[in-house]
Structure 1
Amino acid sequence: MAKSLPPFGWLRSFEAAARHLSFTSAAEEIGLTQSAVSQQVKSLETRLGVPLFMRQARGLALTDAGRRLLPEVDAPLQALAAAMDIVDTGPAKNLLTIATSVSVAHWVIAPRLPDFQARFPGLKVRIHCAIWPDDFHSTRADVEIRFGSARQGGIDAEPLLPNQLIALKSPSLRGELHELPLIEAVGTSGGWQAWAKRVGSAPPPSLYTDTYGMALHLAAHGNGVALVSELLADHALKTGLVERAHPASISSHEGYYLSTAKDKPEALDFREWLLGSLSLPQAGPVAHAGG
């Protein structure tokens, strides 16, 4: 039986870190947090059974195994990027292209999209689920919604609110927060450890995933309590898929940032509609470190 390949994200993080010899610089290029890149590289090393980097006080250095692997990973990544450029034929008439994450497409846009299409019935919409910064560039999207820090959001990007982190669970899951399994969205600055510092003690997470969207999906299916962006949770809360597991919320260092093509009226219409639909009341007290 053929050996399965590691996840694409692990290889992308390794390639970027190897070029920059820095997890921080790789994270800024890719659009992830430094901890997410570091963890993905560590997962790849565990999978391969060899260290790929030497972690030094002054930065990273490739091991012999890392130097051998880099050109083997770099070549197919460049080939994939070239293939995407060939296939992407560019914008069509009367088409609005939105590039965003699966989480935003699933939990924010999809539930509200019927209302937008009812207001603009002649407009076709293409939703491109982008992960890496290269994906955003290659799609030539009219609207982009990126996740990360304000710097990663891009110049002239505006934050989508609310941006607090709240604890959510399925209504069928009984018990207090400290009694229930916790779901952690890996690679974000705000997690259950931050919750414990600002709100109160919490047990170690027992289930890990890489996006707030998946954490919310797992919580809705009764797998535990997820700490996720309030922006994503609005529809799930209103429809009863999840409920608050605790009344408090904590601030987040990352968020979702909207960029709009100023020269396309349809994109400006989408921006105005989206911001209007996200005018949500803040729910629950906000806990801040150090008061």
Structure 2
Amino acid sequence: MIEYIPPLQTLRAFEAAARHLSYSRAAEELSLTHGAISHHVARLERDLGNRLFVRDGQRMILTDAGQILVLDIRQGLKQLAKAFVAARSRARHKDAQRTLNVSVLPSFAARWLVPRIAGFQADCPDVEIAIRPTATLTTLDGRDGIDLAIRYGPGEWPGLQSIKLMASTIYPVCSPNFANLHRLAAPRDLLSVTVIRSPRQKWRPWLIAAGLDAPEPEEGPIYDDAALVLQAAAMGQGVALARATLAAEDIAAHRLIRLFDVEIEDDYAWHLVWREPVVRDAQAHSAFRRWIEAEASRDP
């Protein structure tokens, strides 16, 4: 609990009087009357039980108690001023800082967006990006605070504006150890090993493209999230179908290897979507759109 402190105006009145050694000049500085300065000083003297000024003819002189007090008050006033300047600076910075809330699938956030987002922050330091990874399809109606979303699908969502960022090819991957252990030399070899499944990506289209008239696999671990599919493959749990967009980093790091030359085009693509009336900051939105389109164009 803070102990009793006299009013700030009283402290400022005494400090000014002590600096000028004059009630009249202190009153002029603070736009007060001579009587008001005298009242404030008298109040301090009553609170302290000590005289703060004495007169020597026409001159005012600080007492020992007054000299000590004015030094402490000046230090305190400087700290208050410093705190206020810092608070005002933070408030201005907050006003200048703009935030974009971007909803995105966790797999795309972790494997593609997050490794690149520092580039956008460097280009647009006044725009703060808040990544909201979720598998839930946001309505973009303003009630959930989401400004933009990156969706994976066919495009053309009713009531939403969208731009296609990138499509992807699909091919099988596994860990180097798994490939060596099972001597995976041809697509047919996959029919005798564990495959990793996902409800979002069926195996049969790739099997047909590889010349294998085989049914959709009914055994093997199932993961709903694409990032978990790739992680399971990197851990040696089996062979997974990977989207090139998401698997590129693992392949470059040799955590995964691509199997065979057969690939298929993904029916779906990544899109940036938004609802026009809900866009809160058109400039920040446009800056992010330009940046992510440029980044997507660099992907093979």
| TM-score of the alignment, normalized to the shorter chain, above 0.5 | yes
- Residue 267 of structure 1 corresponds to 285
Is 1:185 aligned to residue 198 of structure 2? yes
Give the whole-Å Cα distance in 1 for the aligned partners of 2:246 and 2:233: 13
Question: Which structure 1 residue ranges, 5 or more long, are not aligned?
Answer: 1-90, 283-291
Is 1:277 matched up with 2:295?
yes
Q: For 1:139, which of 141, 144, 154 is the aligned residue?
A: 144
Within a 5 Å distance, the mapping from 1:236-275 to structure 2 comes to 236-260=250-274, 264-275=282-293
Q: How does 1:69-88 map to 2 (within 5 A)?
A: none
Gaps of 5+ in 2: 1-94
**One-letter amino acid matched to 1:211:** D
Aligned-residue RMSD, C-alpha: 2.9
Worse-matched range after superposition: 136-145 or 97-106 = 136-145
- Percent of counterpart pairs with the same letter? 23
For residues 278 and 184 of structure 1, what CA distance do their matches in structure 2 show?
A: 27
Counterpart AA for 1:192? W
- Give the Å deviation of 1:134: 4.2
1:276/1:93 Cα in 2 relative to 1: closer, same or farther (>3 Å)? Answer: same
SS where residue 260 of structure 2 aligns?
strand
Aligned length: 190
**Change beyond 3 A, Cα 1:217–1:264:** farther
TM-score (norm 2): 0.55
TM-score, normalising length: structure 1: 0.57
2:113 matches 1:109: yes
Q: Could you tell me which residue of structure 2 aligns to residue 231 of structure 1?
A: 245
Over 3 Å counting, the alpha-carbon distance change for 1:114 and 1:215 in structure 2 is same
Deviation at 1:146, TM superposition (A): 1.3
Partner of 1:139: helix, strand, or coil?
Answer: coil
Bigger-Rg structure (1/2) = 2
Q: Which amino acid aligns with 1:185?
A: S
Deviation at 1:165, TM superposition (A): 1.5
Once residues 106 and 159 of structure 2 are traced to their aligned partners in structure 1, the CA distance between those partners, rounded to angstroms, is: 19
Please tell me whether the aligned partners of residues 147 and 153 of structure 1 are also in contact (alpha carbons under 8 angstroms). no
SS in structure 1 of the partner of residue 267 of structure 2: coil
Q: Deviations over 1:111-143 (max 9, x none)?
A: 112222222334322111233334644433232
Given that 2:103 and 2:138 are in contact with CA atoms closer than 8 Å, whether structure 1 keeps it comes out as: no
Residue 152 to residue 239, structure 1, CA distance change in 2 (3 Å): farther
Cα distance between partner residues in 2 of 1:206 and 1:218: 11
**Letter matched to residue 232 of structure 1:** L
